[in-house]
Chains A and B, each alone.
Chain A
Amino acid sequence: MSLTDRVLGDRQRLAYIASQAADARLNVELETEGMTLNIGPQHPATHGTLRIIARLDGEQVVWAEPSCGYMHRGYEKLAEVRTYPQVTTLVNRIDWLGSFANEVPFILAAEKLMEVEAPPRAQHIRTILFELSRIANVSLFLGDLGVQMGAITPVFFAFRDREYVLNLIEGATGGRFHPNFDRIGGLKDDLPKGWIAETKAVMKKLRTFCDQIEDLLFGNEIFQSRTRGIGVIPKDIALQFGLSGANLRASGVDWDLRRDHPLPMAWNKADWKVWTHPDGDSFARCWVRLQETREATKIVDQLLDTIPSGPIMAKVPKIIKVPEGEAWVSTENPLGEMGYYVVSRGELGPFRVKIRSASFNNISVAPWALRGVYVPDIITILASLYFILGDIDR
């Protein structure tokens, strides 16, 4: 960009501000000044305590900003005073709908520093549980999506079918929401007998659920007219704001860490597809997530057939001391890229942990995407961006 361009840009911006001020004066004269609408912190559409401050001009949003931090729990700081095994139980609670997926990057980062690798059986089971948590997370999104637009039925379907997946996770790990099953060097325990057959039956049910949601919601004319062409995020804007996961793929960027980023996990042992959508609107984001749930059931099915036998724990000392160093590992979590930057000083616990969670970046595009939309579309766009408050505030 040349200097003249920048000056011209500034001039244009000044002209814009002046015209806005003129409009405001006009509004004062006509007594139709804008109003500020506070959505949240307690609002069913915010999945927790997110506050959206929207300045309206009639029915249109002039300016909107999400105000985060109402649920800040300080996990980065809490992790500094805990040992490595204790941290996994904390990071479970970041994205509470897909909690097993939160443990994996942290454990992988610690393993990278210790230079141990989980045995193949542990990698397989890890990947299966990772994908199950993705299914549990995204299937709830698919139901919740309907509720945000006034359709109550899909959420009952979603809760019914998510329960099957949660039962599986509980059967294997012992915890429905907070498995705490990953250990440095492997897993806590092996799978109980009969779990594989049960999982296969549930995956079949989940595929039926995906078909049902497609008929119930995605084919519905009201749903389509409320989401198609609403909240369009173009490719370059999505990349600039650092979107990840399905939000980025819905803008037409073929990007998936599971495929692109080699990790000691078993994704490359299954045959699956990364779905993208060229539109970048709310519908595209929802559609990509629906396809992802289907792909995840396929990954689980394929990996279940090929679980190698063997140990589930590598040889690690009983008291874990991670050697000095720094490591960054990120994985493709249900919501997008989630990564941990672990700094170790050779002690029992990490010296510093930086958590990159997907929702924080996904919600940061909201001021851009919400500008100029109508009030009911705020909820639709936020729902389709899909964030979890624990994942934003950490």
Chain B
Amino acid sequence: MPKVPGMVKGLGVTLGTLFETVTKGANTVQYPHEKEAPPTRARGVIALHEGNCTSCMLCARSCPDWCIYIEGHKELAPPRREGGKPRKVNMLDRFDIDYALCMYCGICVEVCPFDALFWTPEYEYSEPRIADLLHDKAKLGEWMETVPEAPELEAGAEKKKK
């Protein structure tokens, strides 16, 4: 049998792919019209559950490029029990994440001891002005609606301690 020239073989590959694209459809997605759903673990944007935040500053300190800005003050709240001392509560005045600086490493979400920060796979928040990428606590709170449930784990995984 004579050897098939490499170029003919290559043309066969492209023809096969053409046939596959025509019958099975293309791999590409026309972005603004169709959207691909990112996986649930995708690190798109950070959501803030304001009620859980105690402004302990752990996230701001552990951020590798220090793009989280937190300001808070202490307030006296009425006591839990009748006749008790008034409680001191941390009030969050400012919680900003500068997404122009953020490296999306997820360390802040991981170190948060009170479950106030969550990843969501949303990604459509580009802005024409770079200064608008600084999300304040109201905007970070809006992302809370999009936080997905954590996915189930593969067989053989150890259950997470809560």
Which residues of A are at the interface with B, using a C-beta cutoff of 8 A? 82-83, 85-86, 88-90, 121, 153, 157, 160, 163, 167, 170-175, 178, 180, 188-196, 212, 215-217, 219-224, 307-312
Contacts and interface: CB of A to CB of B under 8 A. Distances in A.
A82 B64 contact: yes
A50 B107 CA distance: 33
Interface residues of B, number: 33
For chain B, what secondary structure do more than half of its interface residues adopt (helix, strand, loop), or is it mixed?
loop
A188 B105 CA distance: 12
A68 B95 CA distance: 41
A343 to B, nearest CB: 20
A221 B14 CA distance: 16
Contact of B64 (A86, A215, A310): A86
B104 interface: yes
18 contacts: A86-B105, A121-B157, A157-B17, A163-B27, A171-B39, A174-B39, A174-B43, A180-B107, A192-B39, A192-B41, A192-B154, A217-B10, A219-B6, A220-B7, A223-B6, A309-B156, A309-B157, A310-B158
B18 to A, nearest CB: 11
Interface in B17-56: 17, 27, 38-43
Q: Which has the most chain B C-beta neighbours within 10 Å: A82, A172, A189?
A: A189
Nearest to A221: B6
B105 A312 contact: no
- Interface majority SS on A: helix, strand, loop or mixed? helix
Contacts of B151: 192-193
Interface string B1-12: 000011101101
B42 to A, nearest CB: 6
Contacts of B105: 86, 88-89, 178, 180
A121 B151 CA distance: 19
A222 B9 CA distance: 13
A196 B43 contact: no
A153 B27 CA distance: 15
Nearest to A213: B13
Given A192-B41, A220-B7, A180 B152 contact: no
A193 B153 contact: yes
Contacts of A173: 41
Interface in B44-100: 62, 64
B110 interface: yes
A89 B101 CA distance: 13
